[in-house]
């Protein structure tokens, strides 16, 4: 392998373009070029993975490079060779693997070009297998050219021909530009989708294919990428051959030479119209469900009010219950607004925003400070019950009963634990109650049983202090 001079290939632009191509072609989150040595495998080009090397003994590519064809592992958890592998049990949680061997003409086993998924898959399509094989051949061609001192025009033409064949087999539209952004190449899929004559969208004419409302935005983002070298990514509406506009995801990365200068831009366009339409339908359904849930809260609150007319002796209990239900309703409407008009000014995943909405009647008496914790619809209701109960108790017995009383809410979060503190000052002297009432049990139900956290209360002379610890994963689902 020394003859190939592999050491200078780390983060090579050409190899990186291939891994990006492989990930797009195979619809996989991870694609790697792996070179296997005596004690390690290392990745000169990586898409979707930050790690640059792993020990040889846990390498999938060791097996792939010993094969003549693409090695496919549909589900690593059921494969005796890999089910105990640390890369399966831990990060990056490999389930599906497909690797094309990198083997020189003299039989030297170098490594593999592989794609990885975190979910099991049946395999690759025929086009994907052919594409992975061609790209692996391109890598070996590139390595051979590095070893060779005489690179002929025929070698370069053959490599370009393979690239064009591969690009034309991809389901995505593929394009390339000069360093200044001049579009000089589109694959066959682009012309098939748009229906325009070959060459008619070279230069800057591509922008005219976009919806008029998207053209200025797309041009501004593209100029920013050209000026900074930042990756290009945008969703826009692209006119197809029937004159219809379909939502499309455009992406591009720069290819740089050894000096870091951009020598080309390589990009793809992916039709995401159906996905966008499904998202829009789901949003309509979600808003309708949210509206009905809000109505249910209102109906229940109304039934409670109606019941107290005939049973005035339970009015205080009913008022507490109605307050809790309305707090749940406000929390639900905050994180799941049923319409644009009901959408809050704060982001719907903001704990500070929800507390501001929930405790608005005490706005001048309650301060909210610290990290703005990200919440979701699952955690919003128990958190709303928790703070509503604390505020209600403060208004009945604590700091809010005194004109000088105040409450400070402080929030702090990290990937593991979120800390919430409630500190009352300036109110009457408080003593620990002889027994926990329903409100205390409701607080524990919200924090401990629903969110898996803990709550500690201190009845200090200057006021009640409450410290709450909740796993961050219980407050906001990972994306």
- Verdict on whether the full-model pTM lies above 0.75: no
Task: Please state the φ and ψ torsions of residue 466, each to the nearest 5 degrees.
Answer: -125, 125
pLDDT score at 475:
85
Structure tokens at 267: 């990009």
> Which of 271, 295, 310 is the C-terminal boundary of a domain?
271
Q: What is the CATH number of the domain that holds 127?
A: 3.30.450.40
* Pair 310, 403 in one domain: no
* Pair 7, 150 in one domain: yes
Highest mean pLDDT among 11-15, 205-209, 384-388, 443-447: 11-15
pLDDT score at 234:
92
Does 231 score more than 80 pLDDT? yes
Q: What is the CATH number of the domain that holds 225?
A: 3.30.450.20
Does 204 score more than 90 pLDDT? no
What are the tens digits of pLDDT across the range 303-345? 555 556 666 665 565 555 555 556 556 655 555 554 455 445 5
pLDDT score at 101:
95
Q: What is the CATH number of the domain that holds 432?
A: 3.30.565.10
State the alpha helices, DSSP H only, in 338-376: 351-358
* Pair 210, 152 in one domain: no
Does 447 score more than 50 pLDDT? yes
> Which of 109, 138, 165 is the C-terminal boundary of a domain?
165
pLDDT score at 159:
62
DSSP letters for 12-37: -HHHHHHHHHHHHHHT-SEEEEEEE-
* Pair 241, 362 in one domain: no
* Pair 458, 423 in one domain: yes
* Pair 354, 474 in one domain: yes
What domain range includes position 448?
348-479
Q: What is the mean pLDDT of the chain?
A: 82
What are the tens digits of pLDDT across the range 21-44? 999 999 999 999 999 998 999 999
Highest mean pLDDT among 43-57, 205-219, 462-476: 43-57
What are the tens digits of pLDDT across the range 371-403? 988 888 778 878 877 887 888 788 888 888 888
For the chain, what is the domain count? 4
pLDDT score at 203:
85
Query: Comparing C-alpha atoms, which of 415, 409, 421, 417 is closest to residue 468?
Result: 421
DSSP letters for 210-237: B-HHHHHHHHHHHHHHHHH-PPEEEEEE
| Residues of the chain above pLDDT 70, percent | 77
pLDDT score at 150:
40
């Amino acid at each position: 392998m020394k003859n190939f001079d592999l050491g200078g290939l780390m983060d090579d632009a050409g190899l990186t373009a291939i891994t990006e191509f492989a990930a797009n072609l195979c619809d996989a989150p991870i694609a790697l070029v792996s070179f296997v040595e005596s004690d390690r495998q290392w990745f000169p080009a990586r898409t979707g993975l930050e790690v640059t090397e792993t020990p040889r003994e846990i390498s999938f590519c060791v097996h792939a490079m010993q094969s003549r064809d693409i090695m496919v592992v549909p589900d690593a958890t059921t494969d005796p060779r890999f089910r105990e592998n640390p890369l399966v049990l831990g990060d990056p949680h490999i389930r599906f693997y497909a690797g094309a061997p990198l083997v020189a003409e003299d039989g030297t086993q170098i490594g593999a070009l592989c794609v990885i998924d975190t979910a099991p898959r049946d395999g690759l399509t025929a086009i994907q297998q052919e594409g992975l094989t061609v790209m692996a051949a391109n890598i070996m061609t590139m390595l051979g050219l590095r070893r060779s001192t005489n690179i002929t025009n025929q070698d370069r033409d053959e490599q370009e021909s393979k690239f064009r064949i591969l690009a034309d087999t991809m389901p995505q539209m593929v394009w390339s530009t000069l360093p200044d952004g001049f579009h000089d190449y589109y694959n066959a899929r682009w012309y098939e989708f748009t229906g325009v004559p070959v060459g008619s969208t070279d230069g800057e004419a591509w922008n005219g294919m976009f919806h008029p409302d998207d053209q200025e935005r797309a041009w501004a983002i593209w100029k920013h990428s050209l000026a900074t070298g930042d990756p290009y990514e945008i969703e826009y509406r692209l006119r197809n051959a029937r004159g219809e506009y379909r939502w499309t995801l455009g992406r591009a990365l720069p290819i740089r030479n050894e000096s870091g200068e951009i020598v080309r831009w390589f990009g793809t366009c992916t039709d995401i119209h159906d996905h966008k339409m499904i998202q829009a339908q789901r949003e309509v359904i979600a808003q309708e469900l949210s509206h009905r849930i809000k109505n249910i809260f209102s109906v229940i609150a109304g039934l409670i009010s109606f019941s107290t007319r005939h049973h005035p002796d339970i009015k205080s209990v009913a008022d507490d219950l109605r307050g809790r239900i309305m707090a749940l309703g406000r929390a639900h409407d905050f994180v799941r607004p049923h319409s644009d008009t009901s959408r809050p000014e704060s982001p719907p995943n903001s704990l500070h925003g929800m507390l501001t909405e929930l405790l608005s009647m005490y706005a001048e008496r309650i301060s909210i400070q610290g990290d703005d914790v990200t919440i979701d619809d699952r955690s919003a209701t128990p958190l709303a019950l928790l703070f509503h109960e604390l505020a209600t108790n403060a208004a009945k017995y604590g700091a809010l009963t005194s004109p000088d009383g105040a409450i400070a809410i402080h929030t702090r979060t990290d990937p593991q634990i979120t800390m919430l503190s409630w500190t009352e000052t300036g109110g009457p002297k408080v003593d620990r109650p002889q027994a926990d009432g329903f409100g205390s049990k409701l607080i524990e139900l919200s924090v401990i049983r629903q969110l898996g956290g803990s709550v500690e209360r201190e009845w200090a002379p200057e006021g009640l202090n409450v410290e709450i610890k909740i796993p961050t994963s219980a407050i906001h689902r990972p994306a």
